[in-house]
Amino acid sequence: MEYTIKAVAKIKDRPSDYGTMTDYMLTFDNGEAAQLSQKQTTPAPVEGSKIEGAIEQSTWGPKFKKVQKAFGGGGGRQQDPEVQNYIIRQNALTNAVAYVLGKAAYMKQPEALEFISGKEIIQVATYFSAYSRGKVTVTMTPDEIAKEFGYDSPVKTQEEGIDLEEPF
């Protein structure tokens, strides 16, 4: 839930296992109040600003728990969709290189040298990325995938006017 901070009062700085923490008492525009604890290096909350999180009851009164924005994920934290897309695309590209090289190893050298290209790797990475996002399934043919996303053929590149960022 998003709250608008009406008033901020610094309570104290205190040591913790995570470094020095600063405790604040926040009052919100809806009349609720709660204590916020955060690292001393985190910018202090500002009156009039919005903050996302939840008020939870504890033994020592209401505590405000901010929504965590994580780069790497884990721990039940919300993850930035941009970061998630970057991770999926990087993983797809890495695995596409491995796939193309592995497949080429079973070909005769002239055929393998023709097969190993940036275009082939990007095409495979695009499909791997789409699969990771649930946009395609293993039961779909390349033509079905092209139709799903409005392409004339299953293979398009940036040079041909298709931005590989979209729709995957």
Do 153 and 99 lie in a common domain? yes
Do 147 and 90 lie in a common domain? yes
Cβ atoms of residues 154 and 145 within 8 Å? yes
Q: In Å, how far are 27, 102, 111, 128, 143 from 115, measured between CA atoms?
A: 64, 11, 6, 18, 20
Residue 167 in domain: no
Mean pLDDT of the chain: 80
- pTM, entire model: 0.42
Residue 50: give the domain boundaries.
Answer: 2-67
Do 42 and 92 lie in a common domain? no
* pLDDT for position 89: 87
- Tens of pLDDT along 117-142? 888 888 888 888 888 887 776 666 76
Residue 72 in domain: no
What crossing angle do the helices spanning 118-132 and 81-104 adopt, rounded to 10°? 130
Number of domains in the chain: 2
- Tens of pLDDT along 11-26? 999 998 888 999 999 9
Residue 166 in domain: no
**Does 36 or 158 have the greater pLDDT score?**
36
